[in-house]
Amino acid sequence: MSKQEWIDIAVEALGKAYVPYSKFPVGACLVTKEGKTYQGINIENASYGLTNCAERTAIFKAVSEGEKAFSHLVVAGHTPEPISPCGACRQVMAEFCDPAMPVTLVGDNGVTKEMTVEELLPYTFTDKDL
């Protein structure tokens, strides 16, 4: 699959997001090193602290199925500029993804920005800090 196909999967996920409170859908597409894709959506809860972001949904789905080697993550939102992942998602990315792994951020009208996990979360807290 191409990067554009991964972007399409993340954008398509926007329509599946469960966002009755914020009305702010986010979609994600996580790609394994073998090319398998995992789609994620944000899932809200009336108890806001129990809400889960699209990035974490995709990562947790993949890890729950035994995947641990990832090559790319795409995150899409209805934002004028490329969407920015929250801090919790950045920390989860740092736990499960190589620091050099590319992350493509997508906003409305196809505007994109590509960064690495390390660029999204420099000076990361990892298992080496325990």
Active site residues: 55
Check whether 42 is labelled as a binding-site residue.
yes
Contact criterion met (CB below 8 Å) for 13 and 41: yes
User: Is 89 annotated to bind ligand?
Assistant: yes
Judge whether 53 is annotated as a binding position.
Answer: yes
81 appears as a binding residue in the annotation: no
Question: Which residues is 50 bridged to in the sheet?
Answer: none
Distance between CA atoms of residues 105 and 47, nearest Å? 27
The helix/strand/coil state of 71 is: strand
Contact (Cβ atoms closer than 8 angstroms) between residue 42 and residue 18: yes
Q: How far apart are CA 114 and CA 82, in angstroms?
A: 9
The reply to whether 86 sits in an annotated binding site is yes
| Residue where the block lists tokens 């690495």 | 116
According to DSSP, the residues that pair with 70 across neighbouring strands are 32
Does residue 43 have a known ligand-binding role? yes
Which amino acids are annotated as binding site for Zn(2+), given as ranges? 53, 86, 89
Which amino acids are annotated as binding site for substrate, given as ranges? 42-48
Which amino acids are annotated as binding site, given as ranges? 42-48, 53, 86, 89
